[in-house]
C-alpha cells in the first residue's frame, strides 16, 4: 500500500498544527514521526486514522482519495499511548471487538472469530490470558492486547501513537524489539509517533523529524544522526555543542580553532557549528607542547558524569566562555587520569555548520556544510581518546 501525503495543513483555533506537510510512504515501510510535543506529529497520525481532517492538502492511497474514506472503512489499526482498551471486556472480547461489530453479512462465524483471537493471542505472546480483564494486566501486556486488537481487523496500515510512552524503561526496550520483529514478519506499513529519539533511531526504516508543524528532515536513522539537515535536527537528535564562528578572511574561526575555507564565498560574516560530544578530541596534559599549526582550545574539566559505559565531561573553554560537553569511553577516563579541575586541549573532529544570515541572525538551513577533520590539509591531528 502506497501512501502519498501532499501539502497537508491543519489549523486549530490558536495555532497551526501542520504547515504544508508532504510525505510519501512506501509499502511495508516502518516510519517514525519524531518531534517535540506540539510539533504536529499526533495531528498527522490522527488525520491518517480519520479522526481529524486537514484544512487543505490531500492523502492518496494507491491513487485513491484516502480522506474521503470513513474511519470505519480505512482499514487502519490504531494503537494509543494509554492502550485505550475496553476495560469492561476481557482480553478475548477486546481482540474480537473489531470482528463482532461488523455487519452480520461480513461478520466471521463464531468459531472463526475464536480461532483468529487464539492465533493473535499467540502472536502477541499472551496465550492463556484471554479471560482476563485489562485491569488485571501489566502495562506491557495491555499494549500487546491493544496491538492484537488492531491487527484483528487485518489493517493495511498500522498507526501507533507513542506506543511505549506509558511503559517503564525495561519493558519499553523489550517491547520495541519485539515490535520490530513483528514488523519484519508481517511487513505491515507502520507509522508511529514518538518523542523519544532513541526509539525512533532504533526502530524505524525512516525517520520524519517534525517541528512546529513542519517536516525538518526525512531520512534513514543513520542520515538523520550523521547528517542532520537543519539546526533543529542537530539540537533535537542526540546532543550537540553549539559554537558561534566568525569569518576571518577566507576561513571561519572560534578563538584558536579555525575551520579551513569558506564555502559561502564571503557572503556570511558569522556561522554556527554543531559538534557532537563524541566528536570532540581531547589531549592531556594541556601543558604538553602543541605545534602552532594545531588549532585547539584550552579547557578546564569541570565535572565528570559517569553514565555506565560512557562518561560525559563538562569542559569550560575560557577563550569564549562556554561550557562544552564531550563524551569519552569510561575505560579511557582512568587511562587519561582525568580529574575535575585538570586542564586539557580540545578540538572538534567534525561539525555541521550553518551560516548565519547577516540581517536576521537566523541560521540558513539550506546552506549546510558538513565538515570533517579529514578535510584539513595539515596532518597535525589531536590524539583521539576513542
Partner 1 sequence: MRRHVLPGFGISLGYALTYLGLIVLLPLAALAWKASGIGVAGLLHLLSSPRTLAALRLSFGGALLAAAVNAVIGLLVAWVLVRYRFPGRRLFDALVDLPFALPTAVAGIALTTLYAPNGWLGGWLATWSIKVAYAPLGVLLAMVFVGFPFVVRTLQPVLESLDRDVEDAAESLGARRWQTFVRVILPMLAPTLLTGFALALARAVGEYGSVIFIAGNIPMRSEIAPLLIVQKLEQFDYAGAAALGVVMLLFSFVLLVVVALLQRWSVRWTESGR
Kindly report the number of other CB atoms within 10 A of residue 243's CB atom: 22
Nearer to partner 1, 48 or 233 (CB): 48
Q: Rounded to the nearest whole angstrom, what is the least distance from the CB of residue 73 to partner 1 in the complex?
A: 8
Query: CA dihedral in degrees (208, 159, 202, 138; nearest 10)?
Result: 140
Q: Of the two residues 105 and 359, which places its CB atom closer to partner 1 in the complex?
A: 105
Helix, strand, coil abundance in the chain, percent, nearest 5: 25, 35, 40
Q: Contact at 8 Å (CB) between 266 and 250?
A: yes
Q: Is 316 in the site for partner 1 (CB under 8 A)?
A: no
Q: Contacting partner 1 (CB under 8 A), which of 34, 78, 121, 191?
A: 78
Nine cell digits for residue 343: 586542564
For residues 41 to 70, the per-residue mask of contacts with partner 1, x marking binding by CB under 8 A and - elsewhere, is --------xxx-------------------
DSSP 62-81: TTEESTTS-GGGS-EEEE-T
Q: Among residues 132 and 180, whose Cβ is nearest to partner 1?
A: 132
Nearer to partner 1, 97 or 178 (CB): 97
Segment 104 to 133, residues that bind partner 1, using CB under 8 A: 133
Nearest distance in Å: CB 98, partner 1:
4
Nearer to partner 1, 150 or 315 (CB): 150
* Residue 277 and residue 225 in contact, taking contact as beta carbons nearer than 8 Å: no
Cβ-in-10-Å burial (0-12, 13-18, 19+) of 384 comes to middle
Q: Which stretch binds partner 1 (CB under 8 A): 148-156, 167-175, 192-200, 359-367?
A: 148-156
- Contact residue for partner 1 among 10, 41, 149, 176 (CB under 8 A): 149
Rounded to whole angstroms, what are the CA distances from 5 to 25, 41, 48, 59, 316? 8, 13, 9, 4, 46
Which one of 89, 129, 218, 284 is in contact with partner 1 (CB under 8 A)? 89
Which residues make up the interface to partner 1 (CB under 8 A)?
A: 49-51, 71-74, 76-78, 80, 82, 84-90, 97-98, 101-102, 133-136, 146, 149-150, 152-153
Amino acid at each position: 500500500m502506497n501512501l502519498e501525503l501532499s501539502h497537508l495543513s491543519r489549523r486549530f483555533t490558536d495555532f497551526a498544527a501542520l504547515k504544508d506537510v508532504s510525505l510519501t510512504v512506501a509499502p511495508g515501510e516502518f516510519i517514525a514521526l519524531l518531534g517535540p510535543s506540539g510539533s504536529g506529529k499526533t495531528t498527522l497520525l490522527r488525520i491518517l486514522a480519520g479522526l481529524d481532517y486537514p484544512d487543505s492538502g490531500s492523502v492518496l492511497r494507491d491513487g485513491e482519495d484516502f480522506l474521503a474514506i470513513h474511519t470505519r472503512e480505512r482499514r487502519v489499526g490504531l494503537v494509543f499511548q494509554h492502550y485505550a482498551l475496553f476495560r469492561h471486556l476481557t482480553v478475548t472480547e477486546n481482540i474480537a471487538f473489531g470482528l463482532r461489530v461488523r455487519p452480520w453479512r461480513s461478520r466471521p462465524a463464531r468459531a472463526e472469530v475464536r480461532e483468529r483471537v487464539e492465533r493473535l493471542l499467540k502472536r502477541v505472546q499472551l496465550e492463556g490470558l484471554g479471560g482476563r480483564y485489562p485491569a488485571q494486566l501489566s502495562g506491557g501486556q495491555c499494549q500487546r492486547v491493544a496491538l492484537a486488537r488492531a491487527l484483528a481487523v487485518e489493517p493495511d496500515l498500522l498507526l501507533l501513537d507513542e506506543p511505549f510512552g506509558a511503559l517503564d524503561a525495561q519493558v519499553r526496550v523489550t517491547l520495541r524489539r519485539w515490535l520490530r520483529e513483528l514488523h519484519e514478519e508481517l511487513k505491515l506499513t507502520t507509522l508511529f509517533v514518538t518523542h523519544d529519539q532513541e526509539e525512533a533511531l532504533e526502530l524505524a526504516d525512516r525517520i520524519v523529524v517534525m517541528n512546529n508543524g513542519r517536516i525538518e528532515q526525512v531520512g534513514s536513522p543513520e542520515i538523520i544522526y550523521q547528517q542532520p539537515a537543519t539546526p533543529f535536527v542537530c539540537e533535537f537528535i542526540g546532543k550537540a555543542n553549539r559554537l558561534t564562528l566568525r569569518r576571518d578572511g577566507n576561513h571561519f574561526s572560534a578563538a584558536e580553532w579555525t575551520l579551513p575555507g569558506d564555502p559561502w564565498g564571503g557572503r556570511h560574516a558569522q556561522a554556527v557549528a554543531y559538534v557532537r560530544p563524541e566528536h570532540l578530541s581531547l589531549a592531556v596534559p594541556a601543558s604538553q607542547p602543541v605545534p602552532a599549526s594545531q588549532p585547539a582550545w584550552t579547557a578546564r574539566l569541570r565535572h565528570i558524569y559517569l553514565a555506565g559505559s560512557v562518561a560525559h565531561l563538562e569542559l569550560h573553554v575560557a577563550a569564549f566562555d562556554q561550557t562544552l560537553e564531550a563524551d569519552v569511553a569510561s575505560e579511557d577516563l582512568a587511562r587519561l587520569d582525568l580529574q575535575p579541575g585538570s586542564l586539557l586541549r580540545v578540538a572538534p573532529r567534525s561539525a555541521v555548520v550553518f551560516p548565519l544570515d547577516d540581517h536576521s541572525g537566523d541560521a540558513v538551513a539550506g546552506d549546510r556544510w558538513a565538515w570533517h577533520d579529514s578535510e584539513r590539509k595539515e596532518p597535525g591531528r589531536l590524539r583521539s581518546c576513542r
